């Protein structure tokens, strides 16, 4: 007999779900008050503990996100009051903090009027290594767990955990202010910011772990951040290109899952379900990127321009087979020059398989099987299985699908791969 979940366990899951969705905004808002990202995260966790204690007893509030935010802010105010160095000042203003909204800080013409985006730029401070900036921001802004970030980077979990701890410690010891960067400082952090937004979207678009294939809230947050950044930096082609890429990718969301939430691969998607408004927005953003690049770039299109152009090729095509695969293969080759990585090569192999046939692609894939970064990457055996299937090597394909199912940590994806393995197992 199947045991039904208790009301307490249902409430606990509700608390954890709401916290995962709201924690980035809570941390960003609390950082304004305490001016320390590490402490802000601890206060957000304190609010979670309070919810786990109170909601099972008192019921889930009508607006759980606002409840968590208010609880964290009150704890932040209490903490600030207790700081001895500010005792006299806070004794005077502390009472009003509880009942009034903090005054709006004066804004410069190009200020970032968004706490989440402000926190992204703060976490991407140059005192941190590039790897630490991205890991910290994904943890705080994307709401990703350490294992999820490790999967995104294809590195051990312990490495990611150390990066996050050291990053928060560095920001605190260096007294990095929660502030808006301007001019050259903003430009110096832009690359890390774009990568963070991109990785947050990717985790929402194809979750590395859990029961769901999509996490729409992450996609929406990343897309909103990209749009805000585009308005802030209209002369940056890569900013517009990232926005274009996310708009075009997001346009497929409704077609990427079936009736019960199962993944639907690109070749099997009903393209009539692609969102035409998002596609139009993507084309517009890509045109802006190309126009900005024509006047500011002499080294050719950047990596996000190339990726957005690839996404546009898919959006223009009426079907998977009618896609301009030779052009996509060429674009991936150019991307491999600008941003070389084994994942780019894996994607290039897929395009080559459609442009030149599975045998040509398999030769590329086989060179990647010894790549350390892809050793536990489930998409490598998954793609290899597809190629072997097209070559009629069904038993080998089934073995690859089974191996891929054992590597993925997403339940929906695991079921899909197991089903494909069973179908072609003799």
Q: What global pTM score does this model have?
A: 0.73
- 347 Cβ neighbours under 8 A, 6+ residues apart: 332
Can you give the pLDDT at residue 347? Answer: 95
- 58 Cβ neighbours under 8 A, 6+ residues apart: none
Q: Which residues pair with 409 in a beta bridge?
A: 209
Q: What is the pLDDT of residues 316-358, one digit of tens each?
A: 999 999 999 999 999 999 999 999 999 999 999 999 999 999 9
**Of 105-119, 285-299, 386-400, minimum mean pLDDT range:** 105-119
Q: If you search the block for the tokens 């985790």, which residue do you land on?
A: 203
- 217 Cβ neighbours under 8 A, 6+ residues apart: 21, 204
- CA distances from residue 384 to 138, 256, 268 in whole angstroms, order as listed: 30, 21, 18
Q: What is the pLDDT of residues 211-251, one digit of tens each?
A: 565 677 778 878 888 988 888 788 899 999 999 999 999 99
What is the spatial distance between Cα 118 and Cα 283, in angstroms, rounded to a whole number?
27
Confidence of residue 275 (pLDDT cuts 50, 70, 90): very high
Confidence of residue 165 (pLDDT cuts 50, 70, 90): very high
Q: If you search the block for the tokens 């190309």, which residue do you land on?
A: 290
Q: If you search the block for the tokens 């890390």, which residue do you land on?
A: 192
Q: Mean pLDDT score of the chain, rounded to an integer? A: 84
Task: With beta carbons less than 8 A apart as the criterion, state whether 289 and 308 touch.
Answer: yes
Average pLDDT value for residue range 198-206: 82
Task: With beta carbons less than 8 A apart as the criterion, state whether 315 and 266 touch.
Answer: no
Distance separating the N- and C-terminal Cα atoms of the chain: 34
What is the spatial distance between Cα 349 and Cα 63, in angstroms, rounded to a whole number?
47
- CA distances from residue 400 to 5, 227, 238, 349, 419 in whole angstroms, order as listed: 36, 39, 37, 16, 12
**What SS3 class is residue 280?**
helix
User: Which residue in 250, 319, 312 sits closest to 278, CA to CA?
Assistant: 250
Task: With beta carbons less than 8 A apart as the criterion, state whether 334 and 307 touch.
Answer: no
Q: How many CB atoms lie within 10 A of CB 153?
A: 17
Helical segments of 124-236, H only: 130-140, 146-153, 157-173, 183-205, 216-232
Can you give the pLDDT at residue 381? Answer: 96
Can you give the pLDDT at residue 6? Answer: 56
Confidence of residue 17 (pLDDT cuts 50, 70, 90): confident
Task: With beta carbons less than 8 A apart as the criterion, state whether 238 and 302 touch.
Answer: yes
């Amino acid at each position: 007999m199947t045991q039904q979940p208790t009301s307490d366990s249902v409430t606990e899951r509700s608390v954890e779900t709401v916290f995962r969705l709201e924690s980035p905004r809570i941390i960003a808002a609390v950082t304004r008050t305490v001016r320390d990202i590490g402490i802000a995260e601890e206060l957000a966790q304190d609010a979670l503990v309070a919810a786990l204690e109170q909601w099972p007893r008192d019921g889930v509030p009508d607006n759980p996100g606002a409840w968590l935010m208010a609880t964290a802010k009150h704890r932040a105010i209490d903490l600030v009051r207790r700081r001895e160095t500010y005792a006299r000042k806070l004794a005077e203003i502390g009472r009003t903090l509880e009942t009034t909204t903090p005054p709006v800080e004066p804004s410069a013409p190009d200020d970032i009027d968004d706490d989440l985006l402000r926190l992204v730029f703060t976490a991407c401070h140059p005192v941190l290594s590039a790897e630490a900036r991205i890991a910290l921001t994904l943890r705080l802004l994307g709401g990703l767990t350490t294992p999820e970030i490790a999967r995104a980077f294809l590195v051990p979990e312990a490495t990611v955990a150390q990066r996050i701890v050291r990053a928060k410690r560095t920001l605190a010891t260096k007294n990095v202010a929660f502030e808006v960067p301007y001019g050259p400082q903003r430009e110096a952090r832009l690359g890390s910011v774009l990568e963070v937004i991109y990785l947050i979207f990717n985790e929402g678009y194809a979750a590395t772990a859990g029961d769901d294939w999509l996490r729409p809230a992450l996609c929406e947050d990343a897309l909103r951040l990209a749009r805000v950044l585009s308005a802030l930096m209209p002369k940056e082609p890569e900013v517009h290109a990232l926005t274009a890429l996310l708009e075009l990718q997001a346009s497929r969301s409704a077609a990427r899952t079936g009736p019960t939430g199962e993944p639907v691969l690109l070749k099997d998607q009903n393209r009539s379900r692609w969102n035409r408004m998002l596609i139009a927005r993507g084309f517009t953003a890509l045109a802006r990127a190309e126009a900005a690049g024509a006047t500011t770039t002499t080294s050719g299109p950047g990596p996000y321009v190339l990726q957005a152009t690839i996404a546009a090729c898919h959006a223009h095509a009426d079907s998977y087979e009618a896609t301009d695969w030779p052009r996509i293969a060429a674009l991936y080759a150019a991307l491999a020059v600008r941003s070389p990585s084994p994942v780019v090569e894996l994607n290039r192999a897929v395009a080559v398989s459609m442009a030149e046939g599975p045998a040509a692609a398999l030769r590329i894939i086989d060179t990647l099987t010894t790549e350390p970064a892809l050793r536990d990457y489930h998409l490598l055996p998954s793609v290899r299985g597809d190629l072997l299937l097209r070559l009629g090597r069904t038993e080998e394909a089934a073995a690859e699908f089974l191996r891929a199912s054992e590597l993925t940590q997403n339940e929906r994806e695991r079921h899909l791969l197991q089903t494909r393995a069973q179908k072609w197992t003799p």
